[in-house]
Amino acid sequence: MRTITADDVVDIADGAAILGTGGGGDPYIGRLMAQVALREHGPVELVSLPEVPDDAQVVTVAMMGAPTVMVEKLPSAEQVGLAASALTDYLGRPLTHIACAEAGGVNSLIPVAAAARLGLPLIDADGMGRAFPEIQMMMPTLYGITTTPLALIDDKGNRCVMDTVDNAWAERLARTSTIEMGCSAMLGSYAMSGTQARESLVPDTLSLCAELGALVRAARAAHTDPVAAVINRMSGRHLFTGKVVDVERRTVTGFARGVARLTGIGDDLGAELVVRFQNESLVAERGGVVIASVPDLICTVDHESGAAVTTEGLRFGQRLTVFSAPSDPRWHSEAGLALAGPRYFGYDVDPVRV
Amino acid sequence: MRTITADDVVDIADGAAILGTGGGGDPYIGRLMAQVALREHGPVELVSLPEVPDDAQVVTVAMMGAPTVMVEKLPSAEQVGLAASALTDYLGRPLTHIACAEAGGVNSLIPVAAAARLGLPLIDADGMGRAFPEIQMMMPTLYGITTTPLALIDDKGNRCVMDTVDNAWAERLARTSTIEMGCSAMLGSYAMSGTQARESLVPDTLSLCAELGALVRAARAAHTDPVAAVINRMSGRHLFTGKVVDVERRTVTGFARGVARLTGIGDDLGAELVVRFQNESLVAERGGVVIASVPDLICTVDHESGAAVTTEGLRFGQRLTVFSAPSDPRWHSEAGLALAGPRYFGYDVDPVRV
């Protein structure tokens, strides 16, 4: 894939929603936003990480906020490019490349829309290799790259540019502003050089999203098992297949936080799985034992169609397969676990590695 | 007064605390901050509004937050000038003059410290002619001058620059950031030309502060009544003299909100006065009837010494005189009342005009 056209975005959105581990936004919305921008501005050039020149000026873009709100309050077409350009105005240097902050149904597609609007190439990579709820949880943080200056733009036209003493403060201040802006805002952050992007981003994420989306689509057409195809491609591990019997969900401190309970069907009959989430699924417990955890991926998909189900899309009665998959190995470093391991999120367990 | 030296700031702080109507910060802290800066950097040139050239670049500076916190967490010397200079960096134009956003024990002196540090003249004026709790409540708002771009700097070194769609949004976003920064932050805002400053600021406030402070000092030395001298100079009206019998105070949504109850002494024996405040005193009720209200000033001073008592300084047993005084008449326009009249603050009464 050397360019992204309106035809490509369905697969990318569907695959990205799987890597989004419940967060990162609804793929239907991500797809619509990218298609509108691509039809208006033409295809986006996709460049692989090794192709990015040393002196490139890269900015990551994403939607920040509670997915529960993002599905009801879409960013305007104009807003999508503004966060990146507000940041470049502040930096006083021309922007050369857009990158994805994370993988997700909206957050892998917002950068496509931004790149189309700004006429810039998009890097086939992202900052997490998955989705995480907080903005300091980016691989570039592990390389000493600062979140700020960051730009936040809301749907009304308000904008903030922040410079913070560390990446955790960037999260704190950007989160409170996002909440006040109505729990959703466009974010431009992690301005970096090409050299920094090459070492710190997770490579080939958009290609992987497109491949996963295509796998699901092909399996459905061939009447084979899309879930098995996805788990296999991601070197994942089947955790549970069951029916959603309870979802507690509340939007607090700008996040969709909650717990989903599943009762087993098929081979898992009689068992129960509990998935705890903060935008993204963080831990899965079976019989009170944590069987999967961040930083590895915990993915929830429809057990027949393989379509990702986001945490805000969880509903009573849905039949889901839950599987885990390895994250970028750098997340299992000491610094990586301090940033996004289970203990950071308040679960006093060692990370369960796939 | 053509310059402000370390010797001048005691009177200015004491007078400003009276105009602060309970808010605007503790005069002791304001005095210390200004004295340190003046001793280090030398006197500050004070220019009257008519002297400000048309093409001047004026920025107002102030401390934003809950006074309850400001008295415990002082801004660093460095922080004081940073908000103004961060704003000028953003504007890309050199700053020529500093102005006070409001009158108050801290907020009339922070600009003195900022002007000393930056080596700039200070304008003998302010944006309110008193103190108000929210940043859109500035006379420049009535002239269509925008609060933003505004810069907020905290004690840790975090900074935000905001551009909002209107001045009410500036208040909302700056307030939430200030709360997250720890309920106190340095604010640079209302960047304006000299022409705009001349028409929109309230003239001669710093001179008035110095005069009020000197009046109180002279009356004490002469064993005459400092309270009567101040009320007379401000064309004010005595409302009540009594003893504080109850203070409810809580820091919510970044403000010190509460109610003080006074029981009368002397001529007011047997009566009760209730003062409701949000950083500043907003309404005074006697026998359930509002006898004074914003936008006019409600000042609380020690009944003997005439020293202003801020709302965070209210304590059981204090003997106070409460008086009202006229605000700048422009606050009584329809637009002025919409911005800072009693109904804006949730009191369904017509403003009581002195």
Please give the CATH superfamily to which domain B225-340 belongs: CV3147-like (2.40.390.10)
- Contact status, residue A196 vs residue A144, Cβ threshold 8 Å: no
- What is residue A121's predicted lDDT score, i.e. its pLDDT? 98
Cβ-defined contact of A180 to B176 (cutoff 8 Å): yes
Task: Say whether pLDDT at A138 is over 80.
Answer: yes
Task: Copy the structure tokens of residue B252.
Answer: 């919510």
- What is residue B9's predicted lDDT score, i.e. its pLDDT? 96
Task: Say whether pLDDT at A67 is over 90.
Answer: no
- What is residue B253's predicted lDDT score, i.e. its pLDDT? 81
Residue A193: phi, psi to the nearest 5? -80, 170
CATH 2.40.390.10 applies to domain A226-340 = yes
Question: Is B74 touching A (CB cutoff 8 A)?
Answer: no
A-chain residue closest to B152, CA distance: A162
> H or E stretch including B154?
none
Tens digits of residue pLDDT in B157-199: 999 999 999 999 999 999 999 999 998 899 999 999 999 999 9
Reported as a pLDDT band with limits 50, 70 and 90, residue B76 is confident
Reported as a pLDDT band with limits 50, 70 and 90, residue B349 is very high
CA dist., res. B22 & res. B6, Å (int): 24
Task: Say whether pLDDT at B301 is over 90.
Answer: yes
- Contact status, residue B173 vs residue B131, Cβ threshold 8 Å: no
Q: CATH number of A3-205: 3.90.76.10, 3.40.1610.10, 3.40.50.140, 3.40.1280.10?
A: 3.40.1610.10
Residues making up chain A, counted from first to last: 354
Is ipTM strictly over 0.90? no
- What is residue B129's predicted lDDT score, i.e. its pLDDT? 98
Query: b/e string for B150-168 if b means 16 or more Cβ within 10 A?
Result: bbbbbbeebbbbbbbebbe
- What is residue B80's predicted lDDT score, i.e. its pLDDT? 83
First to last CA, chain B: 29
Task: Say whether pLDDT at B73 is over 80.
Answer: no
**Could you give the dihedral angle defined by the CA atoms of residues A329, A332, A334 and A336, in that order, rounded to the nearest 10 degrees?**
80
Q: Convert A139-167 into a string of H (helix), E (strand) and C (coil).
A: HHHHCCCCCCCEEEECCCCCEEEEECCCH
Task: Copy the structure tokens of residue A58.
Answer: 């890269």
Question: What are the strands, taking DSSP E only, across A194-318?
Answer: 202-203, 237-252, 255-264, 272-278, 280-286, 289-293, 297-302
B-chain residue closest to A86, CA distance: B163
Reported as a pLDDT band with limits 50, 70 and 90, residue A65 is confident
Check whether the bond before A43 is cis (ω within 30° of 0): no
Contact partners, residue B23, CB within 8 Å, separation at least 6: B67, B104, B131, B132, B133, B256, B277, B279, B280, B281, B310, B311
Tens digits of residue pLDDT in A312-325: 899 999 999 999 99
Q: Measured between alpha carbons, how far is residue A4 from residues A62, A76, A122 in Å?
A: 18, 21, 9
Q: Which residue has the higher pLDDT, B305 or B82?
A: B305
Question: Is A162 touching B (CB cutoff 8 A)?
Answer: yes
CA dist., res. A231 & res. A277, Å (int): 21
Q: Which residues pair with B99 in a beta bridge?
A: B60
- Measured N-to-C along each axis, helices A77-91 and A110-118 cross at an angle, to the nearest 10 degrees, of 70
- Contact status, residue B20 vs residue B279, Cβ threshold 8 Å: no
Residue A80: phi, psi to the nearest 5? -60, -40
CA dist., res. A98 & res. A112, Å (int): 8
- What is residue A254's predicted lDDT score, i.e. its pLDDT? 79
Q: What integer is the mean pLDDT of B308-313?
A: 94
Question: Is B166 touching A (CB cutoff 8 A)?
Answer: no
Query: b/e string for B252-282 if b means 16 or more Cβ within 10 A?
Result: eebbbbbebbbbbbeebeeebbbbbbbbbbb
Closest listed residue to residue B227, CA positions, set B171, B306, B142: B306
**Could you give the dihedral angle defined by the CA atoms of residues A301, A303, A304 and A306, in that order, rounded to the nearest 10 degrees?**
20
Task: Say whether pLDDT at A71 is over 80.
Answer: no
Question: Is A52 touching B (CB cutoff 8 A)?
Answer: no
CA dist., res. B37 & res. B58, Å (int): 20
Quote the pTM value.
0.90
Cβ-defined contact of B163 to A165 (cutoff 8 Å): no
Average pLDDT score over chain B: 94
- What is residue B231's predicted lDDT score, i.e. its pLDDT? 98
CA dist., res. B23 & res. B126, Å (int): 15
- What is residue B79's predicted lDDT score, i.e. its pLDDT? 84
- Interstrand relation of A122-126 and A44-47 (parallel, antiparallel or unpaired): parallel
Q: Which residues of chain B are within 8 Å of residue A165 when distances are taken between CB atoms?
A: 156-158
Q: Which residues of chain A are within 8 Å of residue B164 when distances are taken between CB atoms?
A: 158-159
Tens digits of residue pLDDT in B191-239: 999 999 999 999 999 999 999 999 999 999 999 999 999 999 999 999 9
- What is residue A106's predicted lDDT score, i.e. its pLDDT? 92
| Domain assignments of chain A as residue spans, ordered by start | 3-205, 226-340
First to last CA, chain A: 29
Q: Which residues of chain A are within 8 Å of residue B172 when distances are taken between CB atoms?
A: 180
Give the sheet arrangement for strand A237-252, strand by strand: A289-293, A280-286, A272-278, A255-264, A237-252, A319-325, A297-302
Question: Is B177 touching A (CB cutoff 8 A)?
Answer: yes
Contact partners, residue A234, CB within 8 Å, separation at least 6: A18, A212, A297, A299, A323, A325, A326
Question: Is B157 touching A (CB cutoff 8 A)?
Answer: yes
> H or E stretch including A279?
none
Reported as a pLDDT band with limits 50, 70 and 90, residue B6 is very high
Reported as a pLDDT band with limits 50, 70 and 90, residue B74 is confident
Task: Say whether pLDDT at B325 is over 90.
Answer: yes
Q: What integer is the mean pLDDT of B318-338?
A: 98
Q: Is B317 exposed, middle or buried, given 0-12, 13-18 or 19+ CB atoms closer than 10 A?
A: exposed
Reported as a pLDDT band with limits 50, 70 and 90, residue A88 is confident
Question: Is A340 touching B (CB cutoff 8 A)?
Answer: no
